[in-house]
Structure 1
Amino acid sequence: MILVTGGLGFIGSHTVRALLDLGEDCVVVQRRTTELPAVLAGAKVAVERADIADREALLAIGDRHRITGIVHLAGSYPWPAVPATAVEASRQAVGGLLNVVQAAQDWGVRRLGVASTIGVYFGGPDAGGPEGGGPHAGGPLREDARLSLTAPVSIPTFKKVGELLGGFLADATGLDIVNYRISGTWGPLGHPDPFFAAPALVHAAARGTAPDLSHLVEPAFAGDGLDLNYVKDTGRAIALLQLADRLNHRTYNVGSGRATTNAQLAEAIRKVVPGATVDLPDGGGAHHAVLDISRLRQDTGYRAEYDTERAAADYVAWLRAGNRS
């Protein structure tokens, strides 16, 4: 049985769906709700309501279920960072990861997978290089690239900390701890992402309105591009990594392996919703961050099932069926 923290959330629920489809039993851990999302409707999933920051509550789950693997997707980092609570929020984030590793050790699990992000490839404003640093100017982002010790926002900061800490604990304990560097992910159950426009554009097309992009940290342009992966593919890739008989690496990029620009996304959306007002101003395109997913393909046989057009059609249909996100 695979335990998935954050298993009723966005990427978590699709990962659980993929694990179930591959024949695995799952128990999900969620802090606030125990209601199954629509993608898991009718599924036989054990649900435990617990906060991973509560070590005793987390470890007690192992008394009720025989856990053989863990996929740790729960978001425990402080976003956005608030000065008054930054110290305690950091304590909760790091403590939650340590509790999950403790559970993996106590339960003798086969593999612990931990969510990281494409953002670890980017450095802070003083790191040098394009967009504040990072090894991505010369081509696709590879897992063996040297990373900056700084990061522009809290999410990649804590993911870098998690990768370093996880590596140390893997060596010290002998646990098989694997990092998933997840690209920009969009699709059913998603939310308005602060870093890319795709979800907002699809929501606007499904509603027949102009897109509201006020939540973005930077203005969006037609030429802006990113490695965008449809969430059903992201969930399946994570499931394949968790279940692989043997992995040759500790860190894997999880993405599409290609850049999708806002202009390309708008074109795909208009094929599904003719006349949708999803065009963005000209500009952007200076650089597109793309993940090299060779390791993922070689070690799991993963292939994406959704190109941009199919993904847009699937997401629009999902929203028009009455789902709110």
Structure 2
Amino acid sequence: MILVTGGLGFIGSHTSRALLDMGERCVIGGRRPERSPVLFAAGDQAVAERMDCTDLDDLLDIGRRHHITGIVHLAAAGMGADSPMDELWANTRALFNVLRAAQEWDVARVVLASTIGVYGGADVNGAYREDVPLPIASAHLIPAHKKSAEILADAVSGSTGLDVVSVRIGAIWGPLGRPASPFFGAPQLVHAAVGGHAVLGPLYAEDAIDMFYVRDCGRAIALLQTAAALSHRTYNVGSGRTTTNREVVEALGRAVPGWVPGLAEGRRPGAALAAHLDVDRLRGDTGFEPEYDLGRAAGDYVRWLQAGNPR
């Protein structure tokens, strides 16, 4: 069985669904397993388990009750902690516990969630490639932790032979996501369109990022977990192109006719030119191709919210 930590969360739910659709059996770990996994009803193909990755004994107990053959580590530990130090310590402890458990269980592969944010400040021309040198400094706590996690994962792979793969995930949007993001405008735009109200604060028409629909993201991660062999330790997981707020609004206009968001013209003052994730490695090693272009994704998300789902 494949253990998905954070498997009832945003990306975790879609990754679990994709693995189940591929015929895999999953242990879906989370802090609140009593929550109904709204995206899957798989019978005995999936088991939801309460787990805390910061507690090694709790984590190892999962392996005593289930035969774990692979791990997708998506859980974010320490969210809402009182201090940045507490959050960093919780996530680092969870990382080491997952790697220790993987070694004890002799799993085939561990996939670790990283982020497009690790490229912040990198010297690139249009596309982020996995081999571009990364700046040591980070402007945010999340990419700071993810950079260190990638280094530690690579060291573990080299010294123990454990197959550990880091996935640098783009700006993800779609069902179960937060209604607003500090990093890109699409979630707020979708919720505003469905709710029929204006966006809060200025969103600029030409601000852009590599947006990736969460259903495609889950499938890409599932393919990386289940591939017979991989050629690299790091993979970008994204759309392979930048998408502007203007393009999002145009797609939403087709899904919700008559809605007018009132974007500010141009780009946010001082904003750097956007780059996209180069996904050649992902395509080459897994054959992945996205199933959701912007129009299909916007329509799918609008229908999801219109059906009464809050996020």
8 Å contact kept, 2:238–2:277? yes
Whether the 8 Å contact between 2:69 and 2:107 is mirrored in structure 1 is yes
For 1:319, the equivalent position in structure 2 comes to 305
Contact in 1 for aligned 2:113/2:166 (Cα 8 Å): yes
Map of 1:283 onto structure 2: 266
Aligned to 1:295: 281
Matched with 1:179 is 166
Query: Is 1:246 paired with 2:229?
Result: yes
Residue of structure 2 in register with 1:195 after alignment: 183
The 3-state SS of whatever aligns with 2:309 is coil
What corresponds to 2:238 in structure 1?
255
Change (3 A) 1:209 1:271: same
SS in structure 1 of the partner of residue 97 of structure 2: helix
Alignment of 1:29-178 (within 5 A): 29-41=29-41, 44-76=45-77, 85-122=83-120, 133-136=121-124, 138-178=125-165
Q: Match of 1:91, as an amino acid?
A: W
In structure 2, distance between residues paired with 1:209 and 1:87: 38
Q: Take 2:85 and 2:3, find their aligned partners in 1: how far apart are those partners?
A: 28
Kept in 1, the 8 Å contact 2:3–2:71? The answer is: yes
Answer yes or no: is the 8 Å Cα contact 1:135–1:141 preserved in 2. no
TM-score, scaled to structure 1 = 0.91
SS at match of 1:178: strand
Distance in 1 (CA, whole Å) between partners of 2:262 and 2:282 is 33
1:34 CA drift (Å): 2.9
Instruction: Note the residue ranges of structure 1 that are not aligned, 5 or more in a row.
Output: 123-132, 214-218
Once the two structures are superposed, residues 208-259 of structure 1 have per-residue CA deviations (whole angstroms, 9 ceiling, x without a partner) of 111235xxxxx53100000000000000000000000010000000000011
Distance in 1, matches of 2:303 and 2:163, equals 39
Residues 1:23 and 2:23 aligned together: yes
1:66–1:159 CA distance, 2 compared to 1 (3 A): same
* AA aligned opposite 1:318: W
Structure 1 contact 52–99 (Cα < 8 Å) conserved: yes
- Is the CA contact (8 Å cut-off) linking 2:20 and 2:42 kept in structure 1? no
- Residue 72 of structure 2 contacts residue 111 of structure 2 at CA under 8 Å; is this kept in 1? yes
C-alpha offsets along residues 170-198 of structure 1, whole Å, 9 cap, x if unaligned?
Answer: 11111000000000000000002221110
Q: Does the 8 A contact of 1:142 with 1:292 survive in 2?
A: yes
Aligned length: 306
Work out the CA distance in 1 between the residues paired with 2:154 and 2:79: 22
Q: What residue ranges of structure 2 are gaps of 5+ in the alignment? A: none
Tell me by how many angstroms 1:87 deviates: 2.8
What is the Cα-based RMSD across aligned positions, in Å?
A: 1.5
Contact 2:78 2:86 in 1 (8 A): no
Using the size of structure 2 for normalisation, the TM-score is 0.95
Please tell me whether the aligned partners of residues 114 and 169 of structure 2 are also in contact (alpha carbons under 8 angstroms): yes
Q: CA deviation at 1:62?
A: 0.2
Check whether the contact 1:77–1:154 (CA below 8 A) recurs between aligned residues: no
Q: How far is 1:89 from its partner?
A: 2.6
Task: Report the residue type matching 2:286 in the other structure.
Answer: T
Alignment of 1:210-221 (within 5 A): 210-213=198-201, 220-221=203-204
Q: Aligned letter for 2:144?
A: T
